[in-house]
Amino acid sequence: MKRFNITNEPINNQDVIDQVIHHNAGAVSVFIGTVREMTGDKQTKFLHYEAYVPMAEKQLQKIGEEILVKWPKAITAISHRIGTLQISDVAVTIAVSTPHRQDAFDASRYAIERIKEIVPIWKKEHYTDGEEWVGNQKGTEAYPAGHPEGVEK
Amino acid sequence: MKRFNITNEPINNQDVIDQVIHHNAGAVSVFIGTVREMTGDKQTKFLHYEAYVPMAEKQLQKIGEEILVKWPKAITAISHRIGTLQISDVAVTIAVSTPHRQDAFDASRYAIERIKEIVPIWKKEHYTDGEEWVGNQKGTEAYPAGHPEGVEK
Amino acid sequence: MVHILLFAGLAQQAKTEKVTIDVNSPLSVEEIRGLLQNQVGPLKGIEHALVAVNEEYVELTDQVKDGDTVAFIPPVSGG
Amino acid sequence: MVHILLFAGLAQQAKTEKVTIDVNSPLSVEEIRGLLQNQVGPLKGIEHALVAVNEEYVELTDQVKDGDTVAFIPPVSGG
């Protein structure tokens, strides 16, 4: 399995975790994003994710490199699923191992925030009362200055 | 499987995760503590954990209840292994699900800190140059005022 | 030829994910964006899209040359 | 009878994990701690141990009665 992976198949969390466990890891922080049914008073029936796959995998790898700069002993693996997902399906699994736990938590949280900034993946919500591409409709979620903060050129 | 569990067997991370996934969870933060080989310049050969099992399971459950007070929609599951563990073996797996990711990270971190304060489990390090009960020898790791902060009586 | 990739809401509006444009001389990303909309019609929100050339984010003023792949990347929503 | 449980370094020093003590009248946790050490010898660090009676943390001044289980809990190190 690739450490930075966009896949059409269900994600096996343990496969992602296995990529980062090693003899000097003492802590692994895993973040799993699952499909939630209710968002406010809107009910999701299912989701559809699409990605610009080769670039998305490159950007995931870039996040792993950014983490290694900030937390030099951190090993990162990320799998993001695309296609149609049902309620409770795993959309993304991030695993980061470090010698000590504080860094693992911080790096894992950093990874999910960066995914939401720089990785070309899009989510379409299929609600009981309609459908919508998330982040595409509202000015507030557009990139403020043409580029998300921190995008390297 | 019990949601709050002390076990002599290897921990299956997915079993712990499965305890907390549900239709209104959007985020699961999993913390996995593994046996690290090097601590400073000391090399661990293997570890031994022992527990006051029935009380330890009660205290893990208490941590789950504390989390539910602080993050009302958080569902927690914790398994801690005891006995002899080799390098890279999983000692503890904590999974917390919440609707939104920030709470999952915070609650997961809270759980591991509380385990280190109130759960009667002890670790004996078997180093290449000797053995030692962790936390038992140094005045700095004794409970400052007879009780760890926040222990309920 | 420049290959243009559209995603999510932009692909839905354009009713296609791929467009090719003939170019004879190097053009800026911004000029490509204009030619694209001449060809497929106006794309609402494309001004909020990032642009990647050959899978790397670029600026609107950067140049695009024959053979490049230009992707318009609306605000992402993975995770 | 009061059942006393020892763990980790305390059990190692006492060379046992279980001690029973006959009590005729209620005693404080602190008094139990003294009787224990009369029986098994001085236990280094026991003053840093928490005490649980019947699996709940208690204070040194709390009373222990016939049939109770008293656990001396040295600084924990799980996780």
Residue range A39-59, pLDDT digits in tens:
999 999 999 999 999 999 999
Residue with the two structure tokens 């503590």: B33
Tokens of B49: 């954990």
**Angstroms from B37 CA to nearest CA on chain D:** 15
Q: Report the SS3 class of residue D73.
A: strand
Best probe of the A interface among B30, B35, B38, by most A CBs < 10 A, is B30
Confidence bin at C13 (pLDDT 50/70/90): very high
Contacts of A56 in chain C (CB under 8 A): 78
Q: Could you tell me the fold of the domain covering D2-73? A: Ubiquitin-like (UB roll) (3.10.20)
pLDDT score, position B91: 98
Q: Give yes or no for D3 touching B (CB within 8 A).
A: no
ipTM of the complex as predicted? 0.93
Neighbours of chain A (3+ CB pairs under 8 A): B, C
Within 8 A of C50 by CB-CB distance, chain A residues are 143, 146-148, 151
> What sign for the dihedral angle of Cα B153, D7, B94, B112?
positive
Question: Distance between CA atoms of B92 and D61, rounded to whole angstroms?
Answer: 34
pLDDT digits (tens, 9 = 90+) for D23-50: 989 999 999 999 999 999 999 999 999 9
pLDDT tens-digit profile of B13-28? 999 999 999 999 999 9
Q: Is A128 on the interface with B (CB under 8 A)?
A: no
Q: Show me where the domains of chain D are located.
A: 2-73
Q: What is the mean pLDDT of residues B31-49?
A: 97
Domain residue spans of chain B: 4-134
Q: How far apart are CA B17 and CA B95, in angstroms?
A: 6
Q: How far is A20 from A28, CA to CA, in rounded Å?
A: 8
Nearest to A98 by CA among A132, A68, A54, A129: A68
| CATH 3.50.50.60 applies to domain A4-134 | no
Q: Which residues of B touch A75 (CB under 8 A)?
A: none
Contact yes or no for A77/A103 (Cβ under 8 A): no
What are C15-70's pLDDT values in tens digits? Answer: 999 999 999 899 999 999 999 999 999 999 999 999 999 999 999 999 999 999 99
B105-131 confidence digits (pLDDT tens): 999 999 999 999 999 999 999 999 999
Compare CB distances from A58 to C8, C55, C78 and report the shortest one's residue.
C55
pLDDT of residue B63: 98
pLDDT tens digits along A108-132: 999 999 999 999 999 999 999 999 9
Decide which of C76 and A153 is more confident: C76
d(CA A5, CA A16): 10
